[in-house]
Chains A and B, each alone.
Chain A
C-alpha cells in the first residue's frame, strides 16, 4: 500500500522563526511532490510543487526533496500567524494517470 507519512502535530513555532515540516513516502518511483495548505474548514490550496532533488524556493517557502531518502520537507521562513494551518504533503503515483496520495497533514501553529 502506497503511503505518505507526516507527523500530525501540532507543531508550535514562534512568530518569525523557521517552521520545518517533514514528509516521507513509500513509492520510490514517485516523481511529483506537492505541499498543500488547508485552513480549518477550507479547501486545500497548493503552495509548492517539486519534481527534482534539491531545494525549490518561492518567497518565504522552500521545498526540499531527497528521492534517495524518500523525503520531502517544507520550510517556512519568518513564520507569521497567518501561516497557522494544516499542511498536507501529497505525492503523485508513479505511472498513475494523475492519482495523488495525500498524507494526513501536519497542524502548524505560529505563536504570536
Chain B
C-alpha cells in the first residue's frame, strides 16, 4: 500500500510569489492533516480535513494560506503571497477513523522563500 505522498519535495521561490503544495493521503483515509516545521521550532499543526470538510483550521497562520481538499482525496496548500517566514518543512499526514489513531506522515515539502 502506498504511503502519504507530497509534491514537490523541494521548492525555492522568491518573496511575493505563489506556491502550491500537494498531498495525496493513503487511500481510504478520510482524515488529512497539514503541519509545518519552521527551522529551530517544533512541528505545528495547521489544519485538519475530514473528507472534504475543514474540521479544524485553527493553526493556519494567516489568510495568505489556503487549503483545499476537493472531492475528499488529495489536498493542496497554497501560500500567496509567500513571505520569508513561510520557509520551513510542510508535512501532510493522514489517518483512518477513528482519527485519534496513528497519523501517517508524508515525506514533507521543503519550502525556501528568498
Contacts and interface: CB of A to CB of B under 8 A. Distances in A.
B43 A32 contact: no
Nearest to A43: B105
A104 B41 contact: yes
Contact of B56 (A43, A97, A102): A97
Contacts, number: 51
B108 interface: yes
Interface string B61-78: 000000000000000000
Interface stretch (B13-21, B80-88, B96-104): B96-104
B42 A102 contact: yes
Contacts of B45: 99-101
B48 A44 contact: no
Contacts of A103: 42
A44 B91 contact: yes
A76 interface: no
A100 B106 contact: no
B55 interface: yes
Contacts of B95: 98
B42 A105 contact: yes
Given A42-B107, A43-B91, A102 B99 contact: no
Interface in A57-112: 88, 92, 96-105
Contacts of B31: 98
A46 interface: yes
Contact of A97 (B99, B103, B107, B108): B99
A101 B59 CA distance: 11
A21 interface: no
A98 B42 contact: no
Interface of B: 4, 31, 33, 35, 40-45, 48, 55-56, 58-59, 91, 95, 99-100, 102-103, 105-108
Given A43-B108, A44-B91, A98-B56, 6 more contacts: A42-B107, A43-B4, A44-B105, A98-B33, A98-B99, A99-B59
14 contacts: A32-B100, A43-B4, A44-B91, A88-B43, A92-B100, A98-B48, A98-B95, A98-B99, A99-B56, A99-B58, A102-B35, A102-B42, A102-B43, A104-B40
